[in-house]
Chains A and B, each alone.
Chain A
Amino acid sequence: MGLNDFEYGRILELLGREPTLTELGMFAVMWSEHCGYKYSRPVLAYFKKYKEAMEGEGLENAGIVDIGDGLGITMKIESHNHPSAVEPHQGAATGVGGIIRDILTMGARPIASLNSLRFGPIRDGEEDASIVERNRYLFEHVVEGIGRYGNCVGVPTVGGEVVFDRRYSGNPLVNAMCVGLLRLDEVTTAAAAGVGNPVIYLGSATGKDGIHGATFASDALGEDSEEKRPNVQIGDPFAEKLLIEATLEALKTGAIVAIQDMGAAGLTCSTIEMASKGGVGMKVNLDHVPMRENDMTGYELMLSESQERMLAVAANGREHEVIDIFRKWGLKAEVIGHVSEGNTEVTRHGVVEASVPAALLTDHCPTYTPEAVVPDYYRSAVAFDISTLPVAEPHGALLKLLSSPNIASKRWVFRQYDQQVQTQTVILPGGGDAAVLAPRGTTKGISVCVDGNGRQVYFDPYVGGQLAVCEAARNVACTGARPVAVTDGLNYGNPQRPHVYWQFRESVKGIADACETMGTPVISGNVSFYNESELGEVLPTPLVGMLGVLDDSSKAVGIAPTSESGSIFLVSVMSVEVRQGGLGATEFLHEVHGIDNGVPTAPDVEGERRLCDFLVLAASSGNLEFAHDLSDGGLAVAAAEVALAGECGLNLQVSHQVRQDSLLFGEVPGRVLIGMTEEDSGIRESAERHGLTFEAIGTWSRRASTLTINETSWTLDHLRSAYENSIPSIMAG
């Protein structure tokens, strides 16, 4: 069931007796990593806001960002890795559904979904044929599952990322992020209150699906994963859509005291957490729970993870207002118990199956601080010497990079997603460094993206964590938005392995420190451990979901030049100490030289913050034609992406003292390409005032059809065919 002997002993001690089977199941799920965060809590305290919230009033309201005009944004990212490895379509779909309900129960309308996906290689020959075939199957069906659920539920999928690496073979990562908009005076709570108030079950009926999903997610996948299959759940996006509308309508009545999603660990988690947060108990009669099969036991009812369900506490006497609204929308709504003092007690067929103080399950979960050891591979990565590498032939190298599935156009993915439903999306996938939405009821815009680079984190976790924050902040700032808050999705192998715990601790520290400097607090997040199978463990993959705010959504900046022609400038943070020519742990090294080694260059986070400030000011002038940051594949890839997005030729002449491959493909952080029809001296002065280097490096023109960087030229047709055809032709094969 996932509890060890020590934990079982602790349960005996806390209860002063043997637990019943149902109680044992409840402890197992509540003390799983997924719910109890037993290996991560001590490290998560690096996040300032998390620490404050844990010591103060709880995590709940920490997750809302005030964007002015009485409106707030809430967002969260959550992993659904294990279910997606077993059943990719439903695993991914229910991941999207779960995170939407999390946002909904704060009283927010879900306005945007994003996702961050990792798979093993999909190109023939990179691994055994059967593994590559399985990777392609997972990729295809995860994307299809996200697309179908998102499209049916009416929440646009506006952004995301997909990365392929052999260390994700057998362990795909599927992280779903949702962004919600709420009125600050309508925030709801999950803390149960008011002894005697009725507890209402809402949504779809409970079946025997997904029993023990949370403990399943806290285990490594092994050969016996086939037998774990009954844990899979099937989602119903149309029921979820009804749930969204019914919930938002019911919240407006004011009859709801508290509400929470029944996600991982189902009824157990929702009853226990709501009772514990409110410092009360609950008396629940499971006989009243709507069931798909009547023969369900108390154990099964408490642990089922059937989808599209919620639990609410209503004000005594007003339960019918809530029930009537849910029934009107065709959903189940039944009073199953009431708020009480003392223990939370669960009855089935007249027998008390569990009676425990809720706090024992939420607050007494043991925490562990395993040993952390710096692995040998780190030392050899630091010692990696690029001077022995031959300088690559640049023309072929760029085409190779553009056709690498990690860099190539993801149109094959996002064309399967509805990006426009709700009609608030201003910048679509592929159109900018981050998505931009213009919520109704305000002139402000919000910009969102999600970023992570497992390879960089693997080779230098602290720097990799910092880089993820800087990249995400830069991306929203390129659209003209001020970065304001972060949600993080932390994905790793088994934390009991010393090098994994080191990767986890250092990368979290890197994220926390960078967020502190950047002024973007981590407001929510999720931890997923045990992402490993017989093929090995995943790259440590922390993901940063960034929220940015634009004062005027009509001033959003994309990556495509819109005018006929103009000038291009490279704006960079000056004080970056470049390691290994910027080539360590890069896509270039992997694709062109077949080498996975080296360390990434550390960002100057203070400088990155100034770069973001500059970009926001520059965008508000209305004079920026485009802005695009230098990321995977460096200057050459960024320039090619601008050329392809704008269907224009670029002529760039860049002075340098570094080797040619460093100049073209090096991944040095803190650099952005911007375009203006003519140089605006105010913008140059602003860059200099922000302590940035501002260089005019060339021009774009719609009449030209080549990209030229110094002495090398590429035709747009060549670039386009490498960039656009790669993933479609792999997936058609």
Chain B
Amino acid sequence: MPKVYVFVTLKPSLLDSAGRTVADSLNSLGYNEVAGARIGKLIELEIDNPSEERIKQMCDRLLANPVIEDYRFEVVG
């Protein structure tokens, strides 16, 4: 069955406190080349006959919060 990978990330200008914590922690471990980190999530869906239109709907209605998050997806197989 084809897989759909949905990537959800916070919109670029919004504060990502988890990402900030990761960047700060990497710096304190000595990885000073890290200037920033943003954390998102990956959602793997198994969909028979994936339709782009319907995946968009799923993202807008449930998988992402379009007010504060962006998303993109890839269909594999």
Binding site for B on A (CB under 8 A): 86-87, 90, 204, 207-209, 229-230, 232-234, 236, 238-239, 292-293, 306-307, 330
Contact = CB atoms under 8 A, between A and B. Distances in A.
B11 to A, nearest CB: 8
Contacts of A207: 13-15
21 contacts: A86-B67, A87-B65, A87-B67, A87-B68, A204-B15, A207-B13, A207-B14, A207-B15, A209-B15, A232-B14, A232-B67, A232-B68, A234-B10, A234-B15, A234-B16, A234-B17, A234-B68, A236-B17, A238-B17, A292-B15, A330-B24
A599 to B, nearest CB: 40
Contacts of A90: 68
Interface in B55-77: 65, 67-68
Scoring B15, B65, B67 by chain A CB atoms within 10 A of each residue's CB, the highest score goes to B15
B67 A239 contact: no
B63 to A, nearest CB: 15
A293 B13 contact: yes
Interface in B23-75: 24, 65, 67-68
Contacts of A87: 65, 67-68
Contacts of B16: 234
B13 A236 contact: no
A232 B24 CA distance: 25
Contacts of A292: 13, 15
Nearest to B15: A234
Nearest to A90: B68
B15 A236 contact: yes
A140 to B, nearest CB: 13
Given A86-B67, A209-B13, A307-B15, 12 more contacts: A87-B65, A87-B67, A204-B15, A209-B14, A230-B11, A230-B13, A232-B67, A232-B68, A234-B68, A238-B17, A239-B17, A292-B13
A90 B24 CA distance: 23
A550 to B, nearest CB: 39
Contacts of A229: 67-68
Contacts of B10: 234
Nearest to B11: A230
Contacts of B15: 204, 207, 209, 233-234, 236, 292, 306-307
Interface size class of B (residues with CB under 8 A): 10 to 19
* Chain A residues touching B, majority SS: loop
Nearest to A294: B35
A596 B15 CA distance: 44
A225 to B, nearest CB: 10
A253 B16 CA distance: 32
A207 B11 CA distance: 12
Nearest to A239: B17
Scoring A207, A233, A234, A238 by chain B CB atoms within 10 A of each residue's CB, the highest score goes to A234
Contacts of B13: 207-209, 230, 292-293
Nearest to B16: A234
A152 B76 CA distance: 40
A87 B69 CA distance: 11
Contacts of A293: 13
Contact of B14 (A234, A238, A330): A234
A244 B65 CA distance: 30
Nearest to B17: A236
Contacts of A234: 10, 14-17, 68
Contacts of B65: 87
Nearest to A141: B65
Contacts of B24: 330
Contacts of A232: 14, 67-68
A239 B17 CA distance: 9
Contacts of A204: 15
Nearest to B24: A330
A233 B15 CA distance: 8
A204 B16 CA distance: 12
Contacts of B67: 86-87, 229, 232
Nearest to B10: A234
A416 B50 CA distance: 38
A306 B20 CA distance: 14
Nearest to B13: A208
A236 B24 CA distance: 15
B26 to A, nearest CB: 15
B57 to A, nearest CB: 15
A293 B65 CA distance: 23
A349 B31 CA distance: 30
Contacts of A238: 17
A204 B17 CA distance: 10
Nearest to A208: B13
B18 to A, nearest CB: 9
Contacts of B11: 230
B58 to A, nearest CB: 16
Contacts of A86: 67
Contacts of A236: 15, 17
